[in-house]
Amino acid sequence: MHTLNEITPRIFRTLLLTAILVTSVFSSLPLMQVHAQPTAVIFVSPSGSNTVGNGSPENPYATISHAVGAAPAGAEIVVLPGTYTEMVDVTKTLSIVSSSGLASNTIIDATGFMHGVEILGSSASGSSIEGITVENANAEGIYVQDASSVDIANNAVLDNVRNASLVCPLSGTPTSPCINEDKGIELIGTADSTVAGNTVVGTMNDGGIGLSDDGALNPGTPQPGPAGASKPSIDNVVTDNKVVDNVGGCGIVVSAYNPGEGVVGNIVSGNDVDANAEGIVVATVIPGTSAINNTVTGNSVLNSFTEGVDVDSSGGAFAPGNVVSGNSVIDNVIGGNGPDYDFPHPQPTGIAVISPTAAIMQKGTVVTGNYILNEYYGLAVANATGTTILSNNIAPTVKVPILGAVASPDPLSSLSSELQSLSASLSQLQSTAASESSVAALSGSIHAINGTLNSLLATVSQLQATAAKASDLTVLTNAVNGLSSTVSNIDSRAQTATDLGYVAILIAIVVGAAAFGLFRRRTVS
């Protein structure tokens, strides 16, 4: 029988050992990453069954639509190679992926259907479709409406918009219900969504990829029709897509149709846009609509039937009350495009920044760092006040480098907003660095900021090469160098935090082992 004096030290030692081991585990938590897993994984195969199948790898369903109906929200639907003749309607959060990762062998044939895949409503926010071929729809191949955080990645969207009667005419009054924006991939009233790495080829009666707002006029559904949900298209990213041979419409279009909504803060970057009816367009179409702070950057825009890049506030009957402001065309390669028929003497045009009259003036467009070749007009500007034209490389194969404007001598005018945003990001990092609970998150933020800094440093070098004003270069260079120093300081602090985390784990393990050894020796004795 043990006395109280014998039991108490033993309890104390046990509690001490437990506390040390718990501390060692929790001290490593900032260095761990937690990945959310889907609540269910459901399989589909052409050889499966919708009657006796259960969605398992051994007994898959036969159609994607049946799997979508059976799946709980948040599930992943894995589609095995084969051809599926259907339209897939998604109204809850789902991930639809090909098992092979290859769009070439996993095909949704939407012959006779309105769409190949449609993702509809806020309840479908967070959905994704990846690695699928979607082809032969009467209208849009992939259609997203009023959802957010949707990912459309690495798909092949081929030969859609096959029904020409569904597409609204470019001018005049439609004689029957029709669709204004009937692209291979169309997003209407979406936010924070990504269209990345897709191939959009051969859209038969309209163009490649579209972003538009929703509202009284829903440009993605037949008009006239019921009013949409009144949502802007905001902060979406269209990147690294191949958009080729869509001869009925624009390669990529960011367009506003609904007063009070608009297209705002969208980014079109790194796309290969070749041989479409028009290249890349940022525009307002209906009176009172808005296209604000959209960016077209790092794209290749070649061989369009009309102009290459068009920032345009015209539309309808010279839509009054439009707001087109703060848009940017940066670091694109543009060449071999056709005429812009909005100008009095149409000629092949690389970049057009245009409003129909001085009463409908667009404002503050930035055009910088573009390489333009094989055009008549490199850059044509009309009724666009405050346009900044800076450091574009216009080849000798361009007859008139700039029409209707002059190049800006002031480099800071186009970079000040970017520097301000960068400064704000760094200030936030400084304020949270000491208490940041996740070293991995901090390091990721620093990596992103460093990428922006490197871009700015490259811009400084470019400006130096073009002999910009020395006083401006001094201010800009000092600002970037100061920010670079701040990032290095934060990066060092993040590394120190990482090292201290590992040291804490090591100390906890050593102390725990020692305490456990002491406990064993005393127990044996």
Q: What's the CA gap between 70 and 50, in Å, rounded?
A: 10
DSSP codes joined into one string, 126-141: T-EEES-EEE--SS-S
| pLDDT over 80 at 518, yes or no | no
Q: What is the pTM of this model?
A: 0.74
Residue 419 lies in a domain: yes
- Assess if residue 260 is contained within a domain: no
- Determine the pLDDT at residue 315: 54
pLDDT reported for residue 178: 94
Is the model's pLDDT at 163 over the cut of 60? Answer: yes
In a domain, 505, yes or no: yes
Mean pLDDT score across all residues of the chain: 80
- Residue 5 above 90 pLDDT? no
Q: What is the pLDDT of residue 316?
A: 45
Can you list the positions of beta strands (E) in 179-319? 185-188, 194-196, 199-201, 209-212, 233-234, 237-239, 242-244, 250-256, 263-264, 267-269, 272-274, 278-284, 290-292, 295-297, 300-302, 309-312
Check residue 168 and report its DSSP letter. P
Give the neighbor-by-neighbor strand order of the sheet with 233-234: 233-234, 263-264, 290-292, 323-325, 362-363, 384-385
CA gap 89, 65 in Å, rounded: 7
Write down the pLDDT at residue 362: 78
Q: Is the pLDDT of residue 524 over 50?
A: no
Q: What is the DSSP string of 387-440?
A: -EEES-EE-TT-SEEEESS---S-THHHHHHHHHHHHHHHHHHHHHHTT-S-HH
Quick one: pLDDT at residue 435?
43
**Does the pLDDT of residue 217 top 60, yes or no?**
yes
Q: Is 483 exposed, middle or buried (0-12, 13-18, 19+ CB in 10 A)?
A: buried
* Residue 217 or residue 425, greater confidence: 217
- At residue 424 the predicted structure's pLDDT band, cuts being 50, 70 and 90, is low
Mean pLDDT, to the nearest integer, of 253-269? 95
| pLDDT given for residue 342 in this prediction | 86
pLDDT of residue 487: 47
Pairing of strands 295-297, 95-98: unpaired
* pLDDT higher than 60, residue 198: yes
Selection from 158, 167, 264 nearest residue 220 by Cα:
167
Structure tokens at 204: 């038969």
Average pLDDT over residues 225-254: 95
Would you state the pLDDT for residue 114? 97
pLDDT in tens, 227-240: 899 999 999 999 99
Higher pLDDT, residue 174 or 130: 130
More confident: 160 or 224:
160
Q: Is the bond preceding residue 224 a cis peptide, omega within 30 degrees?
A: yes
Q: Specify if 429 maps to a domain.
A: yes
How far is Cα 437 from Cα 79, in angstroms, rounded to an integer?
38
pLDDT band at 23; cut points 50, 70, 90: very low
Backbone torsion region of residue 240, taken as left when φ is above 0, otherwise alpha when ψ lies between -120 and 50, otherwise beta: left
Is the pLDDT reported for residue 9 higher than 80? no
> Is residue 246 pLDDT above 80, yes or no?
yes
Higher pLDDT, 38 or 282: 282
- pLDDT value of residue 334: 98
451 or 344, which is more confident: 344
Residue 76 lies in a domain: no
| Whether the predicted pLDDT of 511 surpasses 50 | no
Which residue type is seen at 39?
Answer: T
Separation CA 525–CA 523 (nearest Å): 5
Rounded percentage of the chain residues whose pLDDT exceeds 90: 59
Q: Output the CA torsion 206→208→212→217 (10° steps).
A: 20
Give the residue with greater pLDDT, 315 vs 42. 42
Domain, as residue range, for 502: 1-35+411-525
Calculate ∠ Cα 187-250-349, nearest 5°. Answer: 140
400 against 357, higher pLDDT: 400
Does residue 428 carry a pLDDT above 50?
yes
pLDDT at 209: 98
**Per-residue model confidence as pLDDT tens digits over 123-145:** 999 999 999 999 999 999 999 99
What is the count of structural domains for the chain? 1
The DSSP line for 26-93 is HHTGGG-------S-EEEE-TT--SSS--SSSSS-BS-HHHHHHHSPTT-EEEEPSEEEES-EEE-S-
DSSP three-state, residue 96: strand
Nearest alpha carbon to residue 62 among 73, 40, 77? 77
Measure Cα distances from 148 to 73, 164, 274 in Å: 15, 29, 29
Q: How far, in Å, CA of 290 to CA of 138, rounded?
A: 30
Question: What is the rounded distance in angstroms from the CA atom of residue 146 to the CA atom of residue 134?
Answer: 21
Task: Specify the pLDDT at position 288.
Answer: 82
Residue 157 DSSP SS3: strand
Per-residue pLDDT tens over the stretch 462-505: 544 443 333 444 444 454 455 555 445 545 554 554 454 554 44
Is the confidence at residue 27, as pLDDT, over 80? Answer: no
Asked if the model's pLDDT at residue 458 lies above 60, the reply is no
Read off the pLDDT band of 330 (50, 70, 90). very high
pLDDT, one tens digit per residue, over 353-395 is: 998 776 667 788 999 999 999 999 999 999 888 899 999 999 9
With tokens 């109280």, the residue in question is 4
pLDDT digits (tens, 9 = 90+) for 40-75: 999 999 999 999 999 999 999 999 999 999 999 999
- Greatest mean pLDDT among 59-63, 214-218, 424-428, 511-515 lies in 59-63
For the record, the structure tokens of 239 come out as: 């990147």
Q: Would 345 be classed as within a structural domain?
A: no
- Burial class (CB within 10 angstroms; exposed 0-12, middle 13-18, buried 19+) of 213: buried
* Residue 448 confidence class, pLDDT cut points 50, 70, 90: low
**Is 366 among the domain residues?**
no
Domain membership flag for residue 470? yes
